Amino acid sequence: MATIITAECINCGACEPECPNNAITEGEEIYVIDPNLCTECVGFHGQEACAAVCPVDCCIPDTNNVETEELLLERAKKIHPDKQIPALTELSPSTSRFRKAAAG
């Protein structure tokens, strides 16, 4: 489930540098997220970094594009072949939003 930016975006630019995958760019009208680069921050952060900094809460899950933690992790590995990304079994509440409930 890639994260998407809604029309509420005020083009503040705060989210762009926070994305570990450089998935966010300034679009013609609002900032946009490339779904092929978004991993919902799996492998890097325990929550979506863009959503965490957005002042108007317009970075939201795309419910029309639901993806598994495993798929998102594989994407992160492909994007960063040079980096040490945790294995699926090593993901924790600080490196995957999917682990929050389990940690509860």
72 binds ligand SF4 (CB under 6 A): no
Distance (Å, whole) CA 38 – CA 30: 17
User: To which residue do tokens 């503040």 refer?
Assistant: 12
73 binds ligand SF4 (CB under 6 A): no
- For the CB of residue 101, give the shortest distance to ligand SF4 in the complex, in Å: 18
The residue within the footprint of ligand SF4, chosen from 7, 17, 39, 86 (CB under 6 A), is 39
Q: Please, which residue, 24 or 91, has the CB nearer to ligand SF4?
A: 24
Long-range contact list for 32-39, CB < 8 A, 24+ apart?
Answer: 32/5, 33/2, 33/3, 33/4, 33/5, 33/59, 35/2, 35/4, 35/62, 35/65, 36/75, 37/75, 37/79, 38/2, 38/3, 39/72, 39/73, 39/75, 39/76, 39/79
59 binds ligand SF4 (CB under 6 A): yes
Q: Please, which residue, 17 or 82, has the CB nearer to ligand SF4?
A: 17
- For the CB of residue 104, give the shortest distance to ligand SF4 in the complex, in Å: 21
Q: Which residues bind ligand SF4 (CB under 6 A)?
A: 3, 5, 9-15, 18-21, 23-24, 31, 33, 38-41, 48-50, 53-54, 56, 58-59
